[in-house]
Amino acid sequence: MLDFGSQYSQLIARRVREQGVYCELVPGTTPWPALEARRPRALILSGGPSSVYDPGAPLCDPAALRSGVPVLGICYGMQLLAQQLGGRVQRGSRQEYGPATLEVDDPEALFRDLPGELPVWMSHGDTVLEAPEGFRPLAHSANSAVAAMGDGLGRYGIQFHPEVIHTPQGSAILRNFLYGVAQLHGDWRPAAVIEEAVAAIRRQVGSGHVLCALSGGVDSAVCATLVHRAIPGQLTCLFVDNGLLRRDEGRRVEEVMHRHLGIPLRRADAEDAFLHALEGVVDPEEKRRKVGATFIAVFEAEARRLTGVDFLAQGTLYPDVIESTSHDTVGAQRIKTHHNVGGLPVDLRFELVEPLRYLFKDEVRAIGTALGLPEDMVHRQPFPGPGLSVRILGEVTRERLQTLRAADWIVVDEIKAAGLYRALWQSFAILTPLQSVGVMGDNRTYGNVVAIRAVVSDDGMTADWARLPYEVLARMASRIVNEVPGVNRVVYDVSSKPPSTIEWE
Ligand code: XMP
């Protein structure tokens, strides 16, 4: 996929992979010889924030468009196709944003086996006025005379976004392009990655020794398991217990890695160092910095004790790779600021091993399952690097950690009991800095307020608060007030992201 900076580029890649077709993003302006060297079977031109009329608008190498490789241009990608092949694009006087009805004029190729009218999602300023020579309009909408076009020889453009859920038949349209037009077979499966990854790790590492830092999350666990499978006996895992984990979490990591998978594990108990660093700190960003710096210090001290280690294995995922190389991606306007505390120092003397570099989270989960990792590890909800420190508003102390852990345990316990855990992106408790008045028995209390946060999301970049059943909320609230000393009030967070964020800090 040639990426022209759309917020949806990653999503398009995921939708393509869901069809069993491997897909990678490269900067939209990549010259054809560099593209050709990778032997693409199809090209997708993404959308993007530019107009083809902007000075310096990113263009596609014309040789790519004439290469005979099937092309699907989406939104800006379609406008590029039109403009670069001699059609006419009209600069938008007003934006078309939101749902629209697509009237299909040619039910072949892209629209095969689909109804003549389709709900689609539009988000564009410019429109294609005239398809280039050799192309025919295939569909229109109220605001776009040419909402889809094709030349019958493998080159297609669509103005709407097939990748978002608001285009219900979007996946079918992509499939028609991938299977029908580009003649791909959909035989790529995440689990097939295991063999390839294992071979690549063996090639890279040879007889060297690898260190892998475990966080307790699925990415580092899958990464370690892959390395272990490739080169058993050449891996040491390091688990830094920062004292900011949830109840039972450290023990669980040890149990899974050590007992279940037989992977040697060193544990650094660094709770004191982290809590000391966090003393008196209330500012959220300062907390992140302190946790990050302490992690690096502890990690370096541990790593120095190991001799003969040449490689560091990291569970970096494809979204992080795309994110961190996005400055190569012409035109990208990034909304998310990346805040990955717990990242490792780059100037350590190790060479990096990153077997998950080209994978999305759901694919990593599929691989984890195929590798025999326990279900509760594979489907664990994401947990921030700075841990509970960003879920305690105000100063982080041992006592407040204990309060939050007890409340959080109840939230997750009830969510799991209600069978909702996997349907939620995250569900957790927050310890607010508020004190409120309550009554218990005949006595007045003055205690802490705990908030509950539960959200649904695809990728954490946007999220909506979960409409949890009242009974589940009631049980959580009643148990927290009764079982957690010092808490006398529970509130539920009904904010979406944006404008709020998922974490409170
Ligand atoms: P926000 O709060 O920004 O979070 O809506 C989006 C997702 O990122 C996680 N998160 C973090 N992860 N280090 C991390 O590794 C951090 O500093 C951090 N802050 C937020 C959050 O849990 C959610 O899944």
* Close Cβ partners of 93 (under 8 Å, ≥ 6 residues apart): none
In this structure, what token pair is assigned to residue 110?
A: 């892209």
CB 396 within 8 A of CB 288: no
Q: Exposed, middle or buried, 176 (CB in 10 Å: 0-12/13-18/19+)? A: buried
| Residue of 287, 502, 504 to mutate, ligand 1, most atoms within 8 A of C-beta | 502
Lowest mean pLDDT among 239-248, 342-351, 448-457: 342-351
CATH homologous superfamily of 192-378 equals HUPs (3.40.50.620)
Pairing of strands 71-74, 43-45: parallel
CB 164 within 8 A of CB 170: yes
pLDDT at residue 335 greater than cutoff 60: no
pLDDT at residue 448 greater than cutoff 80: yes
Residues with CB under 6 A from ligand 1: 288, 339-342, 382, 384-386, 426, 460, 497, 501-503
CATH number for the domain formed by residue range(s) 2-181: 3.40.50.880
Nearest-CA residue for atom 12 of ligand 1: 384
pLDDT of 116: 96
* Close Cβ partners of 442 (under 8 Å, ≥ 6 residues apart): none
CA distance 250 to 255: 9
pLDDT of 337: 35
Q: Exposed, middle or buried, 39 (CB in 10 Å: 0-12/13-18/19+)? A: exposed
Nearest atom of ligand 1 to the alpha carbon of 336: 3
Q: What percent of the chain has pLDDT over 70?
A: 94
CA of 464 to the centre of ligand 1 (A): 15
Q: How confident is the model at residue 378 (pLDDT cuts 50, 70, 90)?
A: very high
pLDDT of 300: 87
CA of 79 to the centre of ligand 1 (A): 35
pLDDT of 344: 56
Lowest mean pLDDT among 130-134, 290-294, 322-326, 389-393: 322-326
Nearest atom of ligand 1 to the alpha carbon of 385: 15
pLDDT tens for each residue of 150-164: 999 999 999 999 998
| Residue of 295, 428, 503 to mutate, ligand 1, most atoms within 8 A of C-beta | 503
CB 231 within 8 A of CB 201: yes
Nearest atom of ligand 1 to the alpha carbon of 382: 24
CA of 93 to the centre of ligand 1 (A): 38
Nearest-CA residue for atom 21 of ligand 1: 384
pLDDT at residue 341 greater than cutoff 50: no
What's the mean per-residue pLDDT of the chain?
91
Instruction: Give which of 248, 239, 76, 263 is closest to 158, Cα–Cα.
Output: 76
CA of 251 to the centre of ligand 1 (A): 23
Residue ranges per structural domain of the chain: 2-181, 192-378, 397-492
* Alpha-carbon dihedral angle through residues 241, 375, 463, 159, given to the nearest 10 degrees: 130
pLDDT at residue 338 greater than cutoff 90: no
CB 23 within 8 A of CB 48: no
pLDDT of 264: 86
CA distance 135 to 155: 8
pLDDT at residue 191 greater than cutoff 90: no
pLDDT of 243: 97
pTM of the model: 0.79
pLDDT at residue 170 greater than cutoff 60: yes
Nearest-CA residue for atom 9 of ligand 1: 384
CA distance 477 to 394: 22
In this structure, what token pair is assigned to residue 305?
A: 């004790």
Q: How confident is the model at residue 96 (pLDDT cuts 50, 70, 90)?
A: confident
pLDDT at residue 493 greater than cutoff 80: yes
| Residue of 336, 339, 390 to mutate, ligand 1, most atoms within 8 A of C-beta | 339
Q: How confident is the model at residue 327 (pLDDT cuts 50, 70, 90)?
A: very low
* Helix axes of 361-370 and 193-205: crossing angle, nearest 10 degrees: 90
Q: What percent of the chain has pLDDT over 90?
A: 76
Q: Which long-range CB contacts under 8 A does 494-501 form with residues at least 24 apart?
A: 494/465, 495/465, 496/455, 496/462, 496/463, 496/464, 496/465, 497/455, 497/457, 497/462, 497/463, 497/464, 498/462
CB 431 within 8 A of CB 393: yes
> Across residues 170-197, what is the average pLDDT?
93
CA distance 290 to 415: 32
Q: How confident is the model at residue 325 (pLDDT cuts 50, 70, 90)?
A: low
pLDDT at residue 185 greater than cutoff 90: yes
pLDDT of 94: 63
> Across residues 346-362, what is the average pLDDT?
84
Q: What is the domain class of 397-492 according to CATH?
A: alpha beta
pLDDT of 350: 86
Catalytic (active-site) positions: 75, 161, 163
Q: How confident is the model at residue 431 (pLDDT cuts 50, 70, 90)?
A: very high
Strand partners, 266: 238
Q: In terms of pLDDT, which residue wins out, 472 or 304? A: 472
Q: How confident is the model at residue 304 (pLDDT cuts 50, 70, 90)?
A: confident
> Across residues 208-235, what is the average pLDDT?
94
Q: How confident is the model at residue 93 (pLDDT cuts 50, 70, 90)?
A: low
Sign of the CA dihedral with 272 first, then 276, 282, and 288 last: negative
Domains 2-181 and 192-378 agree in fold: yes
CA of 384 to the centre of ligand 1 (A): 5
Lowest mean pLDDT among 213-217, 320-324, 446-450: 320-324
